[in-house]
A and B are shown apart, each in its own frame.
Chain A
Amino acid sequence: SSMFVFPHKIILKTCGTTTLLLGLDLMLRIAAAEAGFPYHNVASLDDPKVAATPLRVFYSRKNFLFPQRQRGPHKSWRDEVTFLDSMFENGSAYMVGKMNGDHWYLYITSPTSSLTPPRTPTSSRGVSPSRRSKIPTGIVAPFGGVIENNEDETLEILMTDLDPENAKKFYLDEAAAIAKEKLFAKSEANGDASFDVFSSSGDCDADGQAVLPEALTTEGHALGTVVSEACGLSAVYPTSTYPDARVDAYQFSPCGFSANGVVPAVAGADGAVSKAGHYFTVHVTPEPQCSFASFETNVPARQNGRQTAEVIEQVVNIFRPGRFSVTLFEAKGALATTPGEDADDTRRNWGAAAKQRMERINGYRRVDRIVHDFEDYDLVFRYYERE
């Protein structure tokens, strides 16, 4: 699981049977009480029910493999929507994709509620959660209700039925073996005496072989780094291109893998550098009965001229899934243009080229392409199966 905290927004992505939505109340309270964001649901900041007024809320997930094992409001999409509707005004719920196959759910609140005056604050003390007043969204005066971050672009790849050979890399035993191999190779290249992993301890086993410090072959972060490099994840946003990029990875025991990457600066084709806070995150469940991997990033593909399709191919090659879906969320007006160039023409030309490229992911057949035109975002959902 991962959480990304920006000055103006928070992203929480959680795996397994976590109860993500149960944390929402407290998240909104922290935003009001500790960060100072405006609230409209109670009269005073001292009220324990105080909740910051979000500009916009997105909640999404793929269909669960084992919905009956989920807890709290996550037992069904209907329950999740009921929970969110009980909290927010102007929410809309969607199901995208095949009902009788892999599909994806989205709940989104509308920023047009900024046109609605806030409700008169009422005390929620003694009021049951289901009856308390809903939290308005989108009230962001004085700067309006539309998300203006025209760089906002989020790509998510959800992969199932991973290739068993590729999935092996995400087991602790396999990761430890790779780590040992790499350390011994490194020690040979450097000479044992100069390799600090060995020279710092000087430990040897009965045969006089150097003994690796245990932490380097068992500790989750150390192994996570090894797995990131071995599987090719570190090469998706390499430090040769993104020198300030930092990856934090963890190999779980007995299996499973998570990684967060931060890419502080992204240079555009025109030389301009974006420092909007770019990230990527990867989560892997390798067990064959429920194999799954996800990749998500907000590193803008268009800005540096690198096509989204290239990133997708690179990621898909790491896992070789039997099927996968791609969702691409883009803020409208996100495409930068040069002076004198018509934004709509640029969008059409770029969009047509990108669409063509996205139709041909090597080794896969694109089955579905579904476009949603939201108020200030475009969403394109694509679903692929192995040929």
Chain B
Amino acid sequence: MNIFRFAGDMTHLASVLVLLLKIHTIKSCAGISLKTQELYALVFATRYLDLFTDYISLYNTLMKLIFLGSSFSIVWYIRYHKIVRRSYDKDQDTFRHYFLVLPCLLLALLINEKFTFREVMWTFSLYLEAVAILPQLVLLQRTRNIDNLTGQYVFLLGAYRALYILNWIYRYFTEPHYVHWITWISGLVQTLLYADFFYYYFQSWKNNVKLELPA
């Protein structure tokens, strides 16, 4: 464990807590894409298959349970909670996220580190996570006005993967044989997808104006 990875995990944790806080306290999911939340639940479900078979550390197991629990409960809130679901804007959240799942699965079957079920599922979760934010970014472009919590959520979600890139660089230089091109490239693609959001997020923060994304 290194400081970059720990900071990345804490930033990731903060992003799901911000989202849970928003949904649980103000009982609203306005501006949140259910599709992105469903994709994230699928990412965690396919990545943490080793939850009960490989024990790495208490920290690792605890965080996996938190990410699984929070992502599924966010999906449940938006889908079934009688108050929250009313604020879900399904007419705007129309990204066909199934078109993301299949290519990621095919790619994982083609490009992976080892052709086993667990490894292909893990690789699938990496590719899927890289594109999971797309429905959310499209929704933000459409709804234009971004409330603070949603903006913070997306920012933290992007920042965690950027910190992971620093972690991979650190591990590459400190651990022999630590080479995982698949992880690195999909993590880089994921961070680049946030790049324009980061740009407008910092612009709004610097000029102290409300965050607006260009149409």
Whether A associates with B in a native complex is: no
Contacts from A to B (Cβ < 8 Å): none
